[in-house]
Amino acid sequence: MLCRMKDSLMAHELEQFQDGRTAFVAGNNMDAWHRLGIVKAGSLTVEDLMTDGLLGGWDVRTEPLFFTETGDRCLECGAGLGSQHEDVCATGDEAEAAALQAAGVGVDEFDGRNQGRNPFRLVVDDDTATPHPMRNWWATVRTNPVTKATEPLGTVQGKYTPIQNEELAEILQALVDEYGAVFDTGGSLRGGREVFMSMKLPEAVQVGGQDAHNLNLVGMNAHDGTRSLYLVTTMIRVVCANTQSMALQNFKSKFKIRHVGNAKARIAEARQALDLSFKVAEDFQKEAEKLLMAPMSDKEFQSFCEVIWPKTEVSNTMHAVSKYHERGARLLKLFREAPTQENCRNTRWAAANAFSEYTDHWVDIRTKQDYAVARADRALFGDGAELKDRVFQLLKVG
């Protein structure tokens, strides 16, 4: 593949195809990240992900990457730049030559010395270009699941080995096969450059006997060389569907598998690193219930907000000050009045949930990309997850 190919800018969004279909599927009647794609009544199978989610049969692969060097003569017949190709030469744009001839362009230059040649097939730079392989660089490409055309995804170096979507599903299934986990969502982002799949473990954690949280395993894989295969366990707070990923940061909940060698061979290592056992859920429950038993007043909550976002760091402009007070008022309202806090008001657990709900549902996100997907990505993998982790660490009791 020639590196002259222009790389188009693609928004960070669920992939949509020419026939109107979207590469996204969700189970259990949950819209999950978006209202696009297919939503099914029950839990998903690998076949659902590959077929309904349009994730199957991509055959992601690498092809040699080339750069070109132009010269001053046609590579085939040796004619110089600007002159006519020899009769035996197949190089040159016949359609363009026919159009020029029909328009009468260059006819006066045609003389006896050029009998047998087409004076309208002139040697141009492209006819003199020599391709050179780029050592240790490759293009990643896939077969489009709808059109079946070959499409470029990115450029990679070294011993990069693609991990197929089918392999990602197999890895996720193998990691949690003993727990009876089921696939929940799956889809493609950024024109196929990234894919994601999530699984839900069957038993929810009950904080205080009432505040339910589902333990999910999310896999993200990039086919353009921008990131490794990335696995993370996260808690989904059922009552408001926000991600309590902060609660699992202490349990080595993230694991990366590089695109080198056999990814499946690292399943045992990933299982150990992710600590995907019900002990994770038990530890989460213990930490959360400590916060549930720890009182926190409105004043203490406002002081805690100041620790997270100090007023001294706010620029002295009307807009910045207004935003600061607006954020504080929203957080306090969530802490005091949110219906989702009914069973934990005026506690440190309510404070954690207020920040989590604010981060997942109220933080302004400036993006030219798809808003809903950008928000979900931020909550699971970006600044939102980091903020919730910091909040949880500072709120922890004893």
Structural domain spans, the chain: 24-64+147-278, 71-128, 288-395
3-state secondary structure 160-217: CCCCCHHHHHHHHHHHCHHHCCEEEEEEEEHHHCEEEEEEECCCCEEECCCEEEEEEE
| 3-class DSSP state of 124 | coil
Q: Please state the rounded mean pLDDT for residues 175-203.
A: 86
pTM greater than 0.85 (yes/no):
no
CA angle, 151 then 155 then 160, to 5°: 105
pLDDT digits (tens, 9 = 90+) for 295-313: 999 999 999 999 999 998 8
Rounded to an integer, the average pLDDT of 206-234 is 85
Spell out the residues 6+ positions from residue 396 whose beta carbon is closer than 8 angstroms to its own.
287, 290, 291
Q: Is the pLDDT of residue 31 over 50?
A: yes
pLDDT of residue 1: 45
**Average pLDDT over every residue of 111-118:** 46
Instruction: Give the C-alpha separation, 230 to 364, whole Å.
Output: 26
Distance (Å) of CA 54 to CA 171, 220, 278, 392: 18, 16, 32, 37
Helix (H, G, I), strand (E, B) or coil at 223: coil
Average pLDDT, the chain: 80
Q: Does 8 have pLDDT greater than 50?
A: no
Q: Which of 61-70, 200-209, 299-308, 386-395 has the lowest mean pLDDT?
A: 200-209
Distance, CA of 53 to CA of 20 (rounded, Å): 13
Are the C-beta atoms of 28 and 48 separated by less than 8 Å?
A: no
Instruction: Over range 223-241, report the average pLDDT.
Output: 79
The proportion of the chain whose per-residue pLDDT surpasses 70, expressed as a percent, equals 75
AA identity, residue 164:
Q
| Among the ranges given (2-16, 162-176, 188-202, 310-324), the one the predictor scored with the smallest mean pLDDT | 2-16
Element (H, E) at 254: strand 254-257
Question: Distance of CA 151 to CAs 75, 159, 225, Å?
Answer: 28, 21, 15
CA dist 149 and 396 (Å) reads 53
As a whole number, mean pLDDT of residues 206-230 equals 85
